[in-house]
Structure 1
Amino acid sequence: MILRFDRDRRQGLHCYVMRADEADLPGPMWPGLWEQDYSESPDLNPWIRHAINNNDGEALAVWRTLIWELTEGRSRFATPAYYRDEAAQVLRIDREDIPLVRWEYEVDVERSEWPDADIGFVPARSCVALPPATDSWQRDHAGFAGLFELTSQRDLTDLALAVAGDATSEITLFALAEAERARLLTRALNQRDRPGLTEILQPGDIFVDLAVVHDLGAGAASYLTIKAPEAIDDVDHLAEHYSRAFRRYATQVNQIRTFDEFHHAIDDLLAPPRTTGTS
């Protein structure tokens, strides 16, 4: 896997986009993901620990890690598309305590070119239980997404678990240079008129959208979209680092025999540049 971003300028923002169709994004590589029974232990279960299984492979974990490293040093707030209450559950947050927002971002994975796929903000919507399992709170708040503060990479992995149940999924992340602007972000995402990223992002902020195809057939593509008011040098640096790490992993994957060995290999694959001697 080669991580390569295309560059663009849109509405005054620097844009970095990685598009991956079925041929570009490697599927699960370690044979044990199909052949071995997953442990009930969260530390050994690859799905619980890394959101990796025999459908969502190692490459998506690399994408999420790149996002986390890129936004280091900022306060991170995320909206998981549609599965707001499931996200609250995995993050162990009472749903009534979630900051709710009326607008969420959309990148349409069924559109083959990013300028068309980059829809922008759309009215939020969240999952509502079907009758007879009615839920009045869900019905009353169906038109709201949740804005979750992420304090660890574990939180981002948990969001991936929460939204991965459909053919596609989407997580949007706002990385703010100043934590005290979280209230302003919430206000902007609750305004009556459709917000614009140009008005929301300030110098030092980074916006990321991760729209993923899990099982949608030919023609669809996953998109990793990054936008910022300023150019981001770390995009290419991290892309190069994780491309090398993935190639190294690919040469060793058939030597892995156990889940314990697999997790050691994944920890090495996802290690940031500052903790490795190979970048």
Structure 2
Amino acid sequence: MERFLRFEHAERDGVHTYVARVGEQDMPEPLWPGLWEQSYPTAPELSPYLRHGINNSCGEAPAVWRALAWALTEGTERHAIPCYYRDEAANLLGVDRATIRTVGWEYEVDVERADWPAADRGFVPARACVPLRPAPDRWQRDHRERAGLFPLDTFAQLTALELAVGGDAASELTLFGLGGPAGRRSPGLADVLDRPDRPELRHLLRPGDVFVDLAVVRDYPMGWTNYLTVKTLGPTDRVWDLADHYSAAFRRYLAALPRIRTFEDFHAAIDELLAAPTGGDQR
């Protein structure tokens, strides 16, 4: 049950990579029976999906990955790309689309490939969802090959991006944790992701930066693979420490399942499951 929190480490192309690679047989399905048996409240603060990004299709495990990614980037300036669903993300964050910093490149991990080196495609030309009905407007047509780079201040905002991308059979979120003085690095990141030449992480990352990519399969098609990818310039024990922390939290959650009767019980249990180690901010 905890294989989704087991990482492999390799150094390649000047970057340290930590990967949790999980096939459909090892990714825990939704665990709390209430996710199937009870009608979800409509209030966002009470709905398991709107509050945590958890329902009877996408269970607790991807939310644990998201919490780990947030904890791993603690103390950095965070920016994220919700692949493909840029405008949906802006809407959920309450952001005017005219203010979105758009870029020409986004990261891609191919969940249809079980071999990690082949799955890690690196930066690819960005694309965004453009509606068919109603017909797209001029802005949507002009920005159909642009990804949105969103600054994040809270874990709730990262969960909002999860809701934006979570409607497909597979989704991808990329999180950049930038070290150094707040506000100084983001223009440089956006500029690198908007150059004509394909970016390379070894040139983009600096000491203290953390790159995280979450490529999650929703409907678990046979042969598809979930990937949680972490990349840094130097080696870090933080990945192993957080994997241990969330493994222990997941075991406690499993033990508590028989006592979870109501949505209030569920929210309390999930808040505990997703909590960062002491001192972290997981709001």
Q: Secondary structure at the match of 1:190?
A: coil
Match of 2:199 in 1: 195
Indicate the residue corresponding to 1:231 in structure 2.
235
Within the candidate set 83, 103, 112, 1:81 is matched to 83
- How far has the Cα of 1:131 moved from its partner? 4.5
Partners of 2:47 and 2:133 lie apart in 1 by: 33
User: What's the RMSD between the two structures over aligned residues?
Assistant: 1.2
Cα distance in 1 for partners of 2:236, 2:59 equals 27
**How far did residue 133 of structure 1 move?**
2.6
Per the TM alignment, residue 263 of structure 1 is displaced from its structure 2 partner at its CA by 0.5
Q: Could you tell me whether the CA contact under 8 Å between 1:31 and 1:254 is conserved in 2?
A: no
In structure 1, which of residues 10, 20, 24 is the aligned counterpart of residue 12 of structure 2?
Answer: 10
Pairing 1:177-256 to 2, within 5 Å after superposition: 177-178=179-180, 179=182, 180-256=184-260
Q: Look up the match of 1:151.
A: 153
Deviation at 1:273, TM superposition (A): 2.0
Moved more, 118-127 or 176-185: 176-185
| Aligned AA (1:69) | A
Secondary structure of 2:185's match?
Answer: helix
In 2, Cα distance between equivalents of 1:198 and 1:273: 29
Kindly state the Cα deviation for residue 77 of structure 1 after the two structures are TM-superposed.
Answer: 0.6
Give 1:132 shift: 4.5
Moved more, 47-56 or 242-251: 242-251
Distance 2:134 2:20 in 1: 42
Change (3 A) 1:61 1:132: closer
Q: Deviations over 1:11-66 (max 9, x none)?
A: 11110000111111101000000000000111110000000000110111110000
Where structure 1 has 5 or more consecutive residues not aligned to the other structure, the ranges are: none
Aligned amino acid, residue 195 of structure 2: Q
SS in 2 for 1:77: strand
Query: How far apart are the structure 1 equivalents of 2:15 and 2:130?
Result: 35
State the percentage of identical aligned residues: 57
Distance 2:95 2:264 in 1: 30
Aligned length: 276
Q: Deviations over 1:154-201 (max 9, x none)?
A: 111000000001111000111100230111101100001111111100
TM-score (norm 1): 0.97
Secondary structure class of the residue paired with 1:24: coil
Segment of structure 1 superposing worse, 245-254 or 116-125: 245-254
Rate the CA distance shift 1:131–1:29 in 2: closer, same or farther, 3 A: closer
CA distance in 2, matches of 1:273, 1:182: 27
Distance across 2 between alignment mates of 1:263 and 1:31 = 14
Is the counterpart of residue 139 in structure 1 residue 141 in structure 2? yes
Q: CA separation in 2, counterparts of 1:216 and 1:270?
A: 23
Q: Quote the Cα distance in structure 2 between the aligned partners of 1:134 and 1:195.
A: 30
Cα distance in 1 between the residues matched to 2:279 and 2:46: 23
Aligned to 1:207, the other structure's residue is in SS state: strand
Question: 1:33–1:53: 8 Å Cα contact kept in structure 2?
Answer: yes
Q: State the shift of 1:275 in Å.
A: 6.3
Amino acid paired to 1:206? V
Task: Give the 3-state SS of the residue equivalent to 1:93 in structure 2.
Answer: coil
Residue 134 (structure 1) shift: 2.6
Shift of 1:255: 1.9
Q: Of 19, 22, 25, which residue of structure 2 is paired with 1:20?
A: 22
1:269 aligns with 2:267: no
Q: Could you tell me which runs of 5 or more consecutive residues in structure 2 were left unpaired when the two chains were aligned.
A: none
The answer to whether the Cα contact below 8 Å between 2:24 and 2:220 also exists between their aligned partners in 1 is no
Contact 1:82/1:127 (<8 A) preserved: yes
Instruction: Report the Cα distance in structure 2 between the residues aligned to 1:132 and 1:5, rounded to whole angstroms.
Output: 44
Give the secondary structure class of the aligned counterpart of 2:41. coil
Structure 2 residue aligned with 1:32: 34
